[in-house]
Amino acid sequence: MKLNKLCCLCVVAALGGAMISLPALAHDRVLHSMNALQDGFLHPFTGLDHLLAMLAIGIWSAQQKHTHAWFIPASFPLMMLAGGALYLLGVVLPGVEHGIAASVLVLGLLISFAVKLSVGAGMALVSVFAMAHGYAHGQEMPVSESAMLYGAGFVLATALIHAAGWFVSNTAQKMLASKLPRFAGVMITVAGAFFLSSLE
């Protein structure tokens, strides 16, 4: 039990450190290793806004305490694919960067206040954010790479980040009630506010 508690505290400390040390917004580094699956998988880890939003989805979903709460994080990567497809089809989606920054802020607030929503409402909310994240991924995909493999890579990475957030949230809630996830939510909220203030 002490080891699990230490692990959770380390995750929160790492989250705080990442917020200080990593670039504020994603989309400033495009991976291009000629391996579309690998590039797609690594891309969500290259921007703090993407990473925090995906981690927050897992944390908040675990707070829902509903049998089908896993539908919420499951819907996010699927709608990310839809957002990426919109870009590839030439559809103009306005306010993508603001949508991504807002997703971090809103999800942080939901975690901080342990807001409970129905599964359907939760899926609808995260789907809106997922479209913005997916569209940005589509914008950054190297033109020479396979869209299918690149998409599979970032969907896999997203699912793993969701799962990490879910695991940490569940474990923390069992040991420290809701204090640790809510503290993480406050940090995510602050990051989201910073992302929004950094946009012109």
Of 66, 26, 53, whose CA–CA distance to 108 is shortest?
A: 53
Tell me 199's DSSP state: -
Which residues have CB under 8 Å from 160's CB, separation 6+? none
Which region among 12-26, 57-71, 161-175 has the lowest average model confidence (pLDDT)?
12-26
Average pLDDT over residues 114-128: 95
Please report which residue ranges of 24-118 form alpha helices under DSSP H.
36-42, 48-63, 71-88, 96-112
- Tokens at 13, concatenated: 């400390």
Contacts of 109 by beta carbon, 8 Å cutoff, 6+ apart:
115, 185, 189
Q: Report the Cα 20 to chain-centroid distance in Å.
A: 18
DSSP 46: G
Give residue 31's pLDDT band: very low, low, confident or very high (50, 70, 90).
Answer: low
Please give the mean pLDDT across all residues of the chain.
83
pLDDT of res. 175? 67
Mean pLDDT of 189-193: 92
Q: Which amino acid is at 64?
A: Q
Q: At what angle do helices 71-88 and 48-63 cross, to 10 degrees?
A: 150
Q: Which residue has the tokens 């802020």?
A: 105
In whole angstroms, what is the distance from residue 129 CA to residue 55 CA?
A: 13
d(CA 54, CA 73): 8
Q: b/e for 139-151, b at 16 or more Cβ within 10 A?
A: ebbeeebbbeebb
Residue 177 banded pLDDT, cuts 50, 70, 90: low
pLDDT attached to residue 176: 59
pLDDT for position 25: 47
Return the amino acid letter for 166.
W
DSSP state of 23: -
pLDDT for the residue 43: 87
Q: At 140, is the secondary structure helix, strand, or coil? A: helix
Model confidence at 170: pLDDT above 90: no
Question: With 70 as the cut, is the pLDDT of residue 3 above it?
Answer: no
Chain-centre distance of CA 106, in angstroms?
Answer: 12
Q: Quote the pLDDT of residue 172.
A: 77
Question: Which of 21-30, 55-64, 93-102, 161-170 has the least mean pLDDT?
Answer: 21-30
DSSP class of residue 95? T
Residue 113 has pLDDT above 90, yes or no: yes
Closest by CA to 193, choosing from 59, 60, 98, 101, is 101
Residue 28 clears pLDDT 60, i.e. is over it:
no
> Is residue 19 scored above 50 in pLDDT?
no
